[in-house]
Structure 1
Amino acid sequence: MVTSGEWSGRDAVTAVKGWALWSRPLPWIVATLSGMAVAVALTIASTLLIAVSLGQVGLFALLAGLAVAQTEVTRRIERQRRMLSHGPHITVTSVWLLPAGLLVPPQLVAALGVVIYVYLALRSWNGTRPGEAHRVAANATTMILSGFGAGLAAYLTGEQGVTTIAAAALGYFLVNTALTGLGLYLADPKSATLASCLGTMDDNVLEAAILCVGGLLTMVLTDEPLLSVLVILPLYVLQRSVLIKRLEELATTDQKTQLLNATTWQDGAQREISRAEREGGSFGALMIDLDHFKSINDTYGHLAGDDVLKAVAAVVKQETRAHDLVGRFGGEEFVALLPSTSKEDAITTAERIRRRISELVIATHTNEGEAVEIVQRTASIGVASFPLDGSSIEEVMASADAAVYAAKHGGRNRVVGAVSSVDSVDSVPSVDSVAALAAVA
């Protein structure tokens, strides 16, 4: 005979076993639960050892109220930012937890973190969806421990004023960066990169800016607490600006390779040809076509093909300058426009890219999850220049495309310069290019 209590116990065990938490990688689970245990232990210890004054309770209530109000004002923006984010998602919770780390005891810092993240989950993130509760708890733990880090840094400084705030902000930033980076790495170590774990330069500058606002808020809270409500409008503008920037990136960037998409590249190329016409300048243009790319998709699957595209895009970006226009034209075709570059220098750049692509070792997985390495991939590259090979961007790219065809016809894995009325085969330094040009001349 089974009692109702035993059935309830079995149901509880079944429910716990069904948590999405257990589907995450074991190192991530261990690190996350360890962080939570540390946060809980420090909170309990501070509750037992550190008294809380009425004034500190008032500051906690004010910060919680401001955080809730700011969440309501920006909840739609925050929801869109979270949906569109890639890599670390930067929230503005630092604005509230940095002053808390400086002005209230650790137990109130922890309470504030819980209030903020529960409210964010319910209001800005469409509620805590099944499988998301552990993510919310992990993020809250990271921010609470960062608040503890800010308080510890301020305590070790032993000073008052700007130095204390700067030390607290640095302590917060370092703890937050370390814990966030570790969590993202352990969640998917195979795909982890420095940028995906620690964020881009823009991500870190945004976090620093938010901490600066938090530092200013700390000073306001100590002198004129009622003026602290004024911080909500700047935060709204900041979050809105970040969202607009992200939307612009999505509208102009190819999402697989993070290069310019075809439309944006064409717009930039039109501006460059107008500049070159005004100044009597020149530029080189590269059309890069991967050889036998369809066989990669057919053999390993489209996910592996995407990894090849990303690897090739990274090579093209690395081998060109920051002000060069590099884009993806769709499929396996890439383009690059090199301002103020002669045809000969463009061919040299193309040859570097061709060689780097042929040396790539791309670690990826098949659609079935089997680990594979894709090697010895090649590309055929056509090179043209303005004004030598055309008086418009359409004519220049048509010349580059014809050169790609010549490279394919000549055996692939080679660079071919477009044939123009004032060009000669001897002007092309590559032996492969000479042979291909001779074949179509």
Structure 2
Amino acid sequence: MPRNALLYVLAVDLLAIVAGLFVALRGPAPSQRDLVNAGVLLVAATLHVVISRRIEESRSDRSTGPHVTTTVVWMFPGAVLLPPVLTFALLVWIRVLWYPISRRPLYRHTFSSAEVMLSVIAALLVLRTGDIDQATIMSGASPVQVLVLLGAAVAYFITQAIIVGIVILLSTPKPTWSAVVGSSSDNAFGALVLCMAVVVALASAHSWFAPLILVPVVCAADWAARQVEELRGDSRTDHTTALLNSRGWHEQADREVARVRRQGGALTVAVLDLDHFKAVNDTWGHPAGDVVLRRVAAVLNERTRQGDVVGRIGGEEFALLLPDTDSEQALVVAERIRTGIAEMKVPATDKRGQPVSIEGRTTSVGIASGANGLVELTTLLHAADAALYEAKVGGRNQVRVSSNGHPVFLQ
């Protein structure tokens, strides 16, 4: 990480520890009622994390930036109902449960935990200023008290956004506004989850077993979030090959480019075009052509890594984004793909429904690389397209690598 970003991360971690200890030591000692509330919230949070584990793993894998979780629905009621020492104990327990699911490096998980701790402390300050606790809510939550609860949720949201936004700003060479403040969908989901947290806090203040009843509701919210993300993904998927379509590829590639920029390193774009593909459709028909495209997609998936971004961006044109890959490494990948396509034997049917075997297909590939994550995606695409054109002009069935925007043939 850049030095200023590293210092910021360490400062946030240290501040969370010091502020958490200070607030916990100045808070009241837990009563028996507090212990019961804490135990119920802990059980509810554990059930929620265990039940939604697979859903959250899927959502976390899809997310390349900060991942919005629903665990705040248990931490926020803790801030309302419990003394700080029990609130922080609940927070630590939830973060420990969450670590295997987050699939993030330990330093990132630690920073996220510190950010959550400071956000909870900000909410606590608003709650204590408004003199809100379980007793006042049970006596009848007035409109003013509800507004104080919502204000605490807003304080949590703003603190979290500022802490995360600053680290993105410091660690990204060319940060965009959307990267710093987050996408509108993520912010809307985060606000919705905090509204749920306020409802859970109100319900929990009146009944100790309310959190247990609300576990299925929170799990349903997790499931609904994944369904929405999958529906959004359908609009980004090519139905013939099941790869990303042009829109989906550009969106995913932009996120990967932003990640590489934050971390530094190389990245490569490769553009592939199937040679004389029109002859396949003319000779055997479009259904046979679709079978060939699906087999090409299978070769691309087999011969690339899980983190590579693979998409179909045109009729017979495909694009790859290879993060943390220089031109020499990309050449190896491109050659592996080219030979894989050349070796294909695709069973299909011709225009009369007779079985045929389509083989001997070739592809031309152009690749372009950028160092330190500073090159724009559009620049790499244009350079890779130029290299692809040179491969076509040079006789097809070959790979050409762009060097500073000029295609160069590598033996």
TM-score by length of 2: 0.56
Gaps of 5+ in 1: 1-23, 263-301, 307-326, 333-364, 380-441
Report the counterpart of residue 225 of structure 1 in structure 2.
208
User: Structure 2: how far apart are the matches of 1:376 and 1:223?
Assistant: 59
Q: Cα RMSD (Å) of the superposition? A: 3.4
Equivalent residue, structure 2, for 1:42 = 19
Query: Shift of residue 158 of structure 1?
Result: 4.5
Paired residue for 1:367, among 366, 370, 380? 370
- Note the 1:221-370 alignment, pairs <5 A: 221-253=204-236, 259=247, 303=267, 328-329=313-314, 330=317, 366-369=369-372
Query: Radius of gyration: which is bigger?
Result: 1
Aligned to 1:142: 115
Alignment of 1:118-133 (within 5 A): 118-122=96-100, 124-125=101-102, 132-133=105-106
Q: Secondary structure at the match of 1:259?
A: helix
1:166–1:121 Cα change, 3 Å: same
- Post-superposition shift, 1:256? 8.2
Instruction: Kindly state the Cα deviation for residue 33 of structure 1 after the two structures are TM-superposed.
Output: 1.5
Shift of 1:111: 1.8
Counterpart selection for 2:53 from 66, 75, 80 = 75
Which of 84, 102, 124 is matched with 2:80 structurally? 102
SS across alignment from 2:86:
helix
Change (3 A) 1:258 1:135: farther
CA distance in 2, matches of 1:64, 1:91: 17
Partner SS state of residue 225, structure 1:
coil
Aligned partner letter, 2:2: P
Q: Secondary structure at the match of 1:90?
A: coil
Contact 1:97 1:143 in 2 (8 A): no
Letter in 2 for 1:197: V
**3-state SS of 2:247 partner:** coil
Answering whether residue 194 of structure 2 is matched by residue 194 of structure 1, we say no
Q: 1:161 to 1:248 in 2, by over 3 A?
A: same
- Structure-2 separation of matches of 1:375 and 1:206: 30
Answer whether contact 2:9 2:167 (CA < 8 A) is retained. yes
Q: 1:62 to 1:29 in 2, by over 3 A?
A: farther
Which moves more between the two structures, 206-215 or 28-37?
A: 28-37
Of structures 1 and 2, the one scoring higher in RCO (CA 8 A, sep 6+) is: 2
User: What 5-or-longer segments of structure 2 have no aligned partner?
Assistant: 133-143, 238-242, 251-265, 271-311, 320-367, 383-411
Letter in 2 for 1:237: A
Report if the CA contact (8 A) 1:101-1:109 is conserved: yes
CA distance in 1 between partners of 2:88 and 2:67 (Å): 21
Residues 231-276 of structure 1, C-alpha deviations (whole Å, 9 max, x = no match):
21121111112112222333331698972679xxxxxxxxxxxxxx
Rate the CA distance shift 1:73–1:368 in 2: closer, same or farther, 3 A: same
Give percent identity, aligned residues only: 20
Q: Quick check: 2:8–2:167 contact (8 Å CA) kept in 1?
A: yes
Cα pair 1:150 1:171 within 8 Å, conserved: yes
Q: CA deviation at 1:26?
A: 2.2
SS at match of 2:28: coil
> CA 1:49–1:261 in 2, change beyond 3 Å: closer, same or farther?
closer
Name the SS for the 2:108 alignment partner. helix
1:239–1:377 Cα change, 3 Å: closer
Partner residue in 2 for 1:204 = 187
**Structure 1 pair 162/331, CA: closer, same or farther in 2 (3 Å)?**
same
Shift of 1:375: 9.9
Aligned to 2:232, the other structure's residue is in SS state helix
Counterparts in 2 of 1:214 and 1:378: CA distance versus 1, 3 Å: closer
Distance change in 2, residues 1:81/1:211 (3 Å): same
Aligned equivalent of 1:393: none
TM-score by length of 1: 0.52
